[in-house]
Amino acid sequence: MTRSLQAVTYRRPSALESSAGERRLGLETSQGATPSGVTDHPRFFAGFLTSPQVASAALLAVADVAGARYYQRQLAASLDPVVTAGGDRLRFESFSGCGGVYARLDVLGPGLDGGEVGHGTTNVDVNNPLREALSRIGSDDPLHLRVGPEELAVTTLDGPVLEKKVPLPDRWLRGFAEAQVIAAGFDLRAELPAAEAVRFLRSLPKAGARGTTSGPRWVVPAGRGLRPTTRPVPGAVCLPGPERLIALQRVLRHATALRIYGPSVVGAAATAGAWEAVLPGMRLTLTLSPDASRGFSGEGGVLDALAADEAGEDAELIAVLLAWEPRIDVADLAAASGLTPERVRAALIRLGTSGRVGYDTAEAAYFHRELPYDARRVERHNPRLRSALALVAAGAVRLEGAIGTVTAEDGHVHRVRDEAGVLSCSCVWWAKYRGGRGPCKHALAVRMVRRGAVVERDMVRVDGGVR
């Protein structure tokens, strides 16, 4: 598994301080992207939180996910949350070390007071002393929030005073991208009032509890609540690994509603889903992969967009038009770029693979952000994409009407069938997943050839990357 060492540097540790009867929460920023370019320690906000106790609990929930592994728990994992300032809101995002849970806290306009919100994305330091201090906030006395260094610190501090180094696997980066793509296919399936939300979430089994099952769970809306079902009936929502919703426990008593999002049920295969706690002036969302032992990185939702030549060119055009919007309007981008809405959506998926857009299920829209690490290598090192490129470069694909034949590296011939734009394959991968985890490398190679892709042998490097 390819990985790199991610260095995150802050001027000082984040801290919660009291001065002259006022509590001040200072979240320190690392290097990040802004409208004026890359900035070492950008400053995004200085003002008040209208619900500080709720915001503190929700921020701790995001930090919980960043430092958690819900599968193979013995392995350590911790990457500081990412903050994006979108002009009218702050978004805090994190991704679990096992790659199966994505968390996002949206602090909206009503949750902020007394300061302008900037534009940009970076990491924020959430250390153990800060976590302890935030957990002790028990009232809604005024709390001043600063995201970024104090103005004086920018001019008087020389050099970094805090550096964290954490391993950053390619699989983790791919999962971050896949979570956004999968969420774009969700619809609102149920909304529970506060009392029902608390009752349901507190009834879920804990990790390792007796009687828990390893298979997928399903729930279906029933009146004002949810009831379990043994099979995925229409309208049902999959709840794989319910213990992974534990981070929501921090904000339960503050929630006004619980919204559940998921795809349309097709067959009996487990699906991902998003669980959103509605809070005063903010939203906390957890998106779960289809299985606790299966992260988002293998879902394959981005592969078709990565394989399309035009999507790469379209993405470059769309990237120029992005302006840190908290809500990207596809129709507006289509009008500004001259592309069709379908090509704009494919370009947004392409940008998602490099961390340049996220997806908000509550608003059913993408938002602009620039993840603070080199996520471009997700595209270069995606194993199925790399294998498909190698097959095309080797001339292993032959088209015969609706049938494509692919001669694999071991000499086996696989038949790829095109039925109304849906590709199926005779390989073991397709037989196992039936397209549930994206196209196999053979189908991907056939689709690339049908689109007229030309891949030279020297474009696929020996080290596994793609030029």
pLDDT digits (tens, 9 = 90+) for 52-93: 999 999 999 999 999 888 887 655 556 899 999 999 999 999
Report pLDDT for 194.
94
Which of 353, 377, 401 finishes a domain?
377
Tokens describing residue 330: 């596809």
Give the percent of the chain with pLDDT over 90.
49
Report pLDDT for 433.
77
Closest CA to 375 of 186, 98, 179, 117: 179
Same domain flag for 283 and 233: yes
Same domain flag for 8 and 149: yes
Same domain flag for 292 and 439: no
Same domain flag for 322 and 443: no
Q: What are phi and psi of 377, to 5 degrees?
A: -75, -10
Band of residue 318 on the pLDDT scale cut at 50, 70, 90: very high
For tokens 């599968």, the residue is 71
Report pLDDT for 84.
97
For residue 255, the enclosing domain spans: 180-296
**Is 54 within 8 Å of 143 (Cβ atoms)?**
no
Same domain flag for 66 and 205: no
Q: Which has the higher per-residue pLDDT, 110 or 310? A: 110
Measured CA to CA, the distance from residue 415 to residue 445 in angstroms comes to: 12
Same domain flag for 153 and 38: yes
Report pLDDT for 299.
56
Same domain flag for 245 and 346: no
Report pLDDT for 211.
42
Measured CA to CA, the distance from residue 71 to residue 233 in angstroms comes to: 28
Least confident of 101-105, 108-112, 230-234: 230-234
Tokens describing residue 195: 């009392």
Same domain flag for 64 and 156: yes
Closest CA to 435 of 273, 306, 263, 301: 301
Band of residue 410 on the pLDDT scale cut at 50, 70, 90: confident
Same domain flag for 331 and 346: yes
Report pLDDT for 413.
93
- Report yes or no on 401 lying in a domain: yes
Using the predicted structure, report yes or no on whether residue 352 has a pLDDT greater than 50. yes
Give the percent of the chain with pLDDT over 70.
85
Measured CA to CA, the distance from residue 134 to residue 185 in angstroms comes to: 35
Report pLDDT for 385.
79
Least confident of 34-38, 203-207, 232-236, 426-430: 203-207
**Is 103 within 8 Å of 88 (Cβ atoms)?**
no
**Is 289 within 8 Å of 240 (Cβ atoms)?**
yes
Which of 296, 323, 353 finishes a domain?
296
- Report yes or no on 39 lying in a domain: yes
Report pLDDT for 198.
92
Number of alpha carbons in the 13 Å side-chain half-sphere of residue 269: 15
Reported as a single tens digit per residue, the pLDDT across 149-186 is 986 444 344 445 688 887 777 778 778 878 888 898 89
Q: Which has the higher per-residue pLDDT, 328 or 206? A: 328
401: which DSSP letter? Answer: T
Report pLDDT for 461.
43
Band of residue 453 on the pLDDT scale cut at 50, 70, 90: low
**Is 321 within 8 Å of 295 (Cβ atoms)?**
no
- Report yes or no on 101 lying in a domain: no
Report pLDDT for 43.
95
Same domain flag for 148 and 252: no
- Compute how many other C-beta atoms are within 10 angstroms of the C-beta atom of residue 287: 24
Reported as a single tens digit per residue, the pLDDT across 248-295 is 999 999 999 999 999 988 777 888 999 999 999 999 999 999 888 878
- Report yes or no on 323 lying in a domain: yes
Same domain flag for 210 and 266: yes
Report pLDDT for 161.
63
Which of 246, 278, 296 finishes a domain?
296
- Report yes or no on 467 lying in a domain: no
Average pLDDT over residues 239-246: 92
Tokens describing residue 144: 């001043």
Alpha helices in 322-459 (DSSP H): 330-337, 341-352, 377-381, 383-393, 428-433, 441-450
Report pLDDT for 152.
45
- Report yes or no on 465 lying in a domain: no
Residue type, 322: L
What are the C-alpha distances in Å from 14 to residues 9, 120, 148, 319? 12, 19, 9, 32
Using the predicted structure, report yes or no on whether residue 103 has a pLDDT greater than 60. yes
Using the predicted structure, report yes or no on whether residue 467 has a pLDDT greater than 60. no
Reported as a single tens digit per residue, the pLDDT across 354-384 is 788 999 999 999 999 988 876 556 555 567 8
Report pLDDT for 466.
43
Report pLDDT for 156.
40
Same domain flag for 370 and 389: no
Measured CA to CA, the distance from residue 88 to residue 56 in angstroms comes to: 19
Measured CA to CA, the distance from residue 169 to residue 171 in angstroms comes to: 5
For tokens 């330091």, the residue is 125
- Report yes or no on 287 lying in a domain: yes
Mean model confidence pLDDT for the chain: 85
User: For the chain, what is the domain count?
Assistant: 4
- Compute how many other C-beta atoms are within 10 angstroms of the C-beta atom of residue 69: 17
